[in-house]
C-alpha cells in the first residue's frame, strides 16, 4: 500500500525522540519526510512505529549528540532526504539523571554541535527550534560571561572559566547554565550562520511538563516541584501538547518575523520567582 506518492518532500529532523518533540511533529509533519535521531535504537523503533501507524513517512538514525561527527552525519542524512525545512532539538539530560559534566557536554555543547551542523544544511525559509527550559531564567549569567559565550566556538565552551568554576559545582547549576546558553546559541545562529541560509531559529523554555522522563525528576525532588507548581499562576503542570502548539507556531508561516528569541512557557513559575512570591532554593 502506497500512502503518499509525493516526490521531493520537505524534510524534518528531530534530535531526541521524546514526547515533546514527537508532539510537535504530529502538528507539522503531514506530507513531509521525518528523520528521527536518538541514541537509543529501542526508542527510535518505538516512536517511528507509532508515527508510521499514524500515517507519517519516517526514517531513523542513531545519533550520539555528544559527538560532533555523529551530529554532522545526522544533519547530512537529513539533507539527503530533501530540503531541510524544520529542525527540532530536544536532546538533553535532567539534573537528577547525570553529572554536571555530562549535562554541560550534552545540553550545552551537544546542542551547539546540532545548531552548527544544521546551520550548514537548512533550506531557505526553514526554521529550527531548541527545547530549552525555564531554568535558563533561574541563574543569571554576568554580561561579560554571556559575551564570552557568544564569541566562543562550540568546541571551546567547556574551557570558559565560568563554566569550569561555577557550572561544574553541581548538576542543578550546570543544567540552569546550559539552558541559558541554549538561548544564546539560538541568538548567535539567528544572526550569523542561520541568517546566511535565510533560516530562522528560536528556543522554547518549558516549565514543569509531565513527560515520561520528568517522572525521574518528580521521584527525586517531588516536594520541590510541587511547591514550584503550587506557587505558579496556573497551579498545575503543563503538557507536551501545550508545548507542541507553541512549537508549531514558531516553526510555521505565522512566525516568519520571529528569530533568535526564547518563548517561556511555564505557567507563571518565573513570574513567581521574580516577584518574590516563590523563593527558589538553589
d(CA 89, CA 259): 16
Q: CB 166: neighbour CB atoms within 10 A?
A: 16
Sketch out the chain's domains with CATH numbers. 11-207+240-267 (3.40.50.720)
Q: Average pLDDT, stretch 172-198?
A: 98
| pLDDT one-digit tens code per residue, 193-239 | 999 999 999 999 999 999 877 777 777 677 888 998 999 999 999 99
What is the pLDDT confidence band of residue 49, given thresholds at 50, 70 and 90?
very high
Please tell me what DSSP assigns to residue 8: S
- If one compares 223 and 16, the residue with the highest pLDDT of the two is 16
Cell of 67: 559527538
Q: For residue 203, what is the enclosing H or E element?
A: strand 200-206
The torsion angles phi and psi of 36, rounded to 5 degrees, stand at -95, 130
Instruction: Report the pLDDT value the prediction gives residue 82, as an integer from 0 to 100.
Output: 96
What is the pLDDT confidence band of residue 282, given thresholds at 50, 70 and 90?
low
Q: CB 193: neighbour CB atoms within 10 A?
A: 17
Q: Average pLDDT, stretch 50-77?
A: 97
Q: Which of 175, 188, 215, 279 is catalytic?
A: 175
Residue the block writes with cell 544564546: 184
Is 111 strand, coil or helix? helix
The torsion angles phi and psi of 40, rounded to 5 degrees, stand at -100, 115
Whole-number percent of the chain with pLDDT over 70: 98
Active-site residue flag, 175? yes
Instruction: Report the pLDDT value the prediction gives residue 225, as an integer from 0 to 100.
Output: 84
What average pLDDT does the chain have? 94
Instruction: Report the pLDDT value the prediction gives residue 96, as an integer from 0 to 100.
Output: 81
Q: Which of 33, 77, 105, 179 is catalytic?
A: 179
Whole-number percent of the chain with pLDDT over 90: 87
The CA-based angle 94-234-282, given to 5 degrees, is 40
Amino acid at each position: 500500500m502506497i500512502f503518499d506518492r509525493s516526490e521531493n518532500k520537505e524534510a524534518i529532523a528531530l534530535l531526541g525522540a521524546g514526547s515533546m518533540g514527537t508532539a510537535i511533529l504530529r502538528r507539522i509533519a503531514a506530507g513531509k519526510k521525518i528523520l528521527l535521531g536518538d541514541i537509543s535504537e529501542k526508542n527510535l523503533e518505538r516512536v517511528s512505529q507509532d508515527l508510521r501507524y499514524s500515517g507519517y513517512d519516517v526514517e531513523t538514525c542513531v545519533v550520539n549528540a555528544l559527538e560532533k561527527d555523529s551530529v554532522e552525519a545526522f544533519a547530512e542524512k537529513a539533507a539527503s532526504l530533501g530540503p531541510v525545512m524544520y529542525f527540532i532539538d530536544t536532546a538533553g539530560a535532567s539534573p537528577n539523571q547525570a553529572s554536571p559534566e555530562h549535562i554541560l557536554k550534552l545540553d550545552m555543547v551537544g546542542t551547539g554541535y546540532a545548531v552548527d551542523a544544521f546551520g550548514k544544511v537548512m533550506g531557505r525559509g526553514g526554521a529550527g527550534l531548541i527545547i530549552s527550559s525555564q531554568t535558563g531564567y533561574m541563574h543569571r549569567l554576568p554580561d561579560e560571561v554571556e559575551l564570552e559565550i557568544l564569541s566562543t566556538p562550540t568546541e571551546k565552551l567547556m574551557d570558559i572559566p565560568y563554566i569550569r568554576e561555577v557550572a561544574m559545582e553541581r548538576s542543578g547549576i550546570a543544567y540552569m547554565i546550559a539552558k541559558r546558553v541554549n538561548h544564546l546559541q539560538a541568538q548567535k545562529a539567528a544572526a550569523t550562520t542561520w541568517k546566511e541560509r535565510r533560516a530562522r531559529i528560536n528556543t522554547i523554555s518549558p516549565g514543569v511538563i509531565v513527560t515520561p522522563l520528568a517522572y525521574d525528576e518528580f521521584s527525586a525532588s517531588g516536594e520541590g516541584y510541587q511547591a514550584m507548581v503550587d506557587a505558579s499562576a496556573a497551579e498545575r503542570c503543563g503538557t507536551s501538547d501545550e508545548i507542541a502548539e507553541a512549537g508549531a507556531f514558531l516553526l510555521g508561516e505565522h512566525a516568519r518575523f520571529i528569530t533568535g528569541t526564547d518563548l517561556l512557557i511555564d505557567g507563571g513559575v518565573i513570574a513567581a520567582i521574580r516577584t518574590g512570591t516563590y523563593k527558589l532554593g538553589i
